Amino acid sequence: MKSLIMAGLAFILTACGSKDCRENVRLGDFEYSQNNYARAKKLYQQAWATDSVACADVADRMANLKRFLP
């Protein structure tokens, strides 16, 4: 029983400390809307690096940025 509680606690602590790629996407969208394309690209790349599965739509956003960045 004690090991089950410890495993559950470890899972909760790990989940709370994980980064949310969606937050970087939201921030990137904001920077994009402000024409700050370099910052948006950086945030999208961070989102992709954090979780490319949960934030798979970031690939489309990064491709869209190529129109504005050299």
Query: Is 5 part of any domain?
Result: no
Q: Considering the entire predicted model, what is its pTM?
A: 0.72
Q: What is the pLDDT of residues 6-60, one digit of tens each?
A: 555 555 544 444 579 999 999 999 999 999 999 999 999 999 999 999 999 999 9
Between CA 70 and CA 67 the distance in angstroms is 8
**What is the tally of structural domains in the chain?**
1
Query: Is 14 part of any domain?
Result: no
What does residue 37 show for φ and ψ, rounded to 5 degrees?
A: -70, -35
Query: Is 52 part of any domain?
Result: yes
Residue by residue, DSSP assigns 3-66 as: HHHHHHHHHHHHHHHS--HHHHHHHHHHHHHTT-HHHHHHHHHHHHHH-TTTTTTHHHHHHHHT
Give me the domain span that covers residue 65: 20-70
Query: Is 66 part of any domain?
Result: yes
Query: Is 37 part of any domain?
Result: yes
* Per-residue model confidence (pLDDT) at position 51: 95
Burial of 42 (0-12, 13-18, 19+ CB in 10 A): middle
